[in-house]
Amino acid sequence: MSSAKEVQTKGLILDASLLEGGGQGNYIVSCLLNKPIKLLNVRAKREAPGLKPQHACGIKLMQNIFQADLQGDNIGSQEIYFKPNKVNTSSTFIADTQTAGSITLLIQISLPALLFSTLPPKTNLFIPPRSKKVILKGGTTVISSPPIDFIIEVFKPIVEREFGLNFNVSIIGRGYYPQGKGEVILQVDPIVERALKPLNLVERGTIVKVKGRVTICNTSKQIGKQMVACASKVLTEASLPELEGIQFDIETNIERINAGKGSEILLWAETNTGCIISGNATINKRESPEEVGRNAAEALIRNLKHGGCVDEHLQDQLIIFMALAEGRSKLVTGPVTLHTRTAIYFVEVMSGAKFHVKKFNSSESLLVNMQDEREFNSPDLNGSLYLIECEGIGLKISKEG
């Protein structure tokens, strides 16, 4: 059975159960290229299949921005039909998960769309670019999703410099599981009459500094001290030559504008070529503050050891921008995650961008689809560097439409 096919009346039908499943990037490309889509088997392989609150909230946000026809947006839905119409000329939007659902996921969905939200599809009416704002409510740090500080300290400086875009993220209040109730404002400057620049992250360089932030909300300062102490100890004792002689600057951030309580730690290393590589962890009921500090430090060390230019979180978040950019983008990374493979597969199907993945300094190409399990489960995966290249579509909004 084909994973994707054209249907004259319904647009593109996709099996969202392939690879990791999901489909957030599909709505982005659907809107930007004016392609109706129907997704089947959404999150079918997950323990709780179908849409979760943050996914439903993200789809409804895209519906609002592009005034789309939408069916199947209820919680638990595994079949969705989405047809973009014209851009909403409003300058402010609101997305509320009503839970501790991931705000960073909402940023991943809305940022690319807002960058190109100056021209309504099917018209020649040019709307002068003006800043677009989205008020996002939910969880600022949740399990299995990068925290909001990652977006600010790692993601933002890389994508702004590499792709030539501009946006701002303001934290109004933090939200943790299970209460949520965090609030973040995303402000985006749309681009017009030019495409995104191609990515070129191929030289890791040497580490020049390691920074970090422990955030504690409505809980003991001692918890923050314990996380800092343990993280610093693990980094100091790491058998990693790159960290020798490096000072670790880990600040403690105390916040009280929050309905619940929580604590988290983000560590990041900056290199002389502009790479930023991170590791993070958050407090939960099963782990002590010391264990959380250790987990964050070990995640950073793991992301540094492979020698790539990005960490496991940033890797898959760059895929949609590489596809939209003009020219050939290049990214040297460590192990290619399932998140990344999934993003590549679906964005290729939706956009026509062409990706190539190969072991670094090798001519052997690896196809990134559901038939590549042997390639990506090879024994030397953790010891290899990979080069991800993309011929982007060079999406550009012009005054002529």
- The residues assigned a catalytic role are 339
Q: Are 248 and 268 in contact (CB under 8 A)?
A: no
For residue 23, give the 3-state DSSP assignment. coil
313 annotated as ligand-binding: yes
Q: Is 108 annotated as a binding residue?
A: yes
User: Got the DSSP string for 313-337?
Assistant: HHHHHTHHHHHHSSSEEEEEESS--
The identity of residue 55, as a single letter, is H
3-state class of 266 per DSSP?
Answer: strand
316 is in an annotated binding site: yes
The verdict on whether residue 317 carries a ligand-binding annotation is yes
Burial readout 25-42 (b: 16 or more C-beta within 10 A, e: otherwise): bbbbbbbbbbbbbbbbbb
User: Would you give the distance in Å from CA 161 to the centre of its chain?
Assistant: 16
Query: How far is 157 from 165, CA to CA, in rounded Å?
Result: 10
Q: Which helix (H) or strand (E) holds 160?
A: helix 156-163
Do residues 267 and 296 make contact, with C-beta atoms less than 8 angstroms apart?
A: yes
Contacts of residue 283, Cβ cutoff 8 Å, sequence gap at least 6: 223, 262, 263, 264, 289, 292
Gap between the Cα atoms of 84 and 239, Å rounded:
52
- Residue 176 CA to residue 384 CA, distance in Å, equals 36
**Under a CB-based contact definition with an 8 Å cutoff, are residues 107 and 139 in contact?**
no
Q: What is the DSSP string of 215-243?
A: EEESS-HHHHHHHHHHHHHHHHH---GGG
Please provide the size of the chain in residues. Answer: 401
Binding site feature residues: 108, 313-317
Binding site feature residues for ATP: 108, 313-317
